[in-house]
Amino acid sequence: MSYKIAVIGDLETVAGFNLAGVQFTHVHTNKEKTLAKLEEFLTHGEIGLILITHRAVEDIGPEFHRRVQEKGLLPLVLKIPDRTGYIPERDELQELIRRTVGVEIQMKTEGK
């Protein structure tokens, strides 16, 4: 079976993924609508990967983590930077890699 990708985020991020051929998308405008769409994506049998911007996760709050923890192995949910490149100071993926592998990933920013 071939799994699909879903994207949740700001208009520009979602539009970019639409142009790349991603069909399952949602523009985050409010918490309730985004939570409903996230739940739909989490239970959709064809979706194997959900990409969601860090800002959308921060807007949703603890409810995001509760819903994602209740799911099975698929779909995989990854938080990504939005069109501005925003990543919170404490990135959970980097922290998970550091704890699991013992290596810290350094993100290079432009001009540095």
For residue 77, give the CATH number of its domain.
3.40.50.10580
Burial of 60 (0-12, 13-18, 19+ CB in 10 A): buried
pTM, two decimal places: 0.78
Res. 111: pLDDT tops 70:
no
Domain span at 25: 4-86
**pLDDT classification of 69: cutoffs 50, 70, 90:** confident
Mean pLDDT of the chain: 85
- Is the residue at 101 inside a domain? no
70-88 pLDDT, tens digit each = 887 789 999 998 887 777 6
Q: How far lies 103's CA from each of 84, 91, 93, 99, 100, in Å?
A: 26, 14, 12, 8, 8
Q: What is the pLDDT of residue 91?
A: 61
State yes or no: pLDDT of 31 exceeds 80: yes
Rounded mean pLDDT, 26-41: 97
HEC readout, the chain: CCCEEEEEECHHHHHHHHHCCCCEEEECCCHHHHHHHHHHHHHCCCEEEEEEEHHHHHHHCHHHHHHHHHCCCCCEEEEECCCCCCCCCCCHHHHHHHHHHCCCCCCCCCCC
Q: How many domains are there within the chain?
A: 1
| Predicted pLDDT at 26 | 98
Percentage of residues of the chain with pLDDT beyond 70:
79
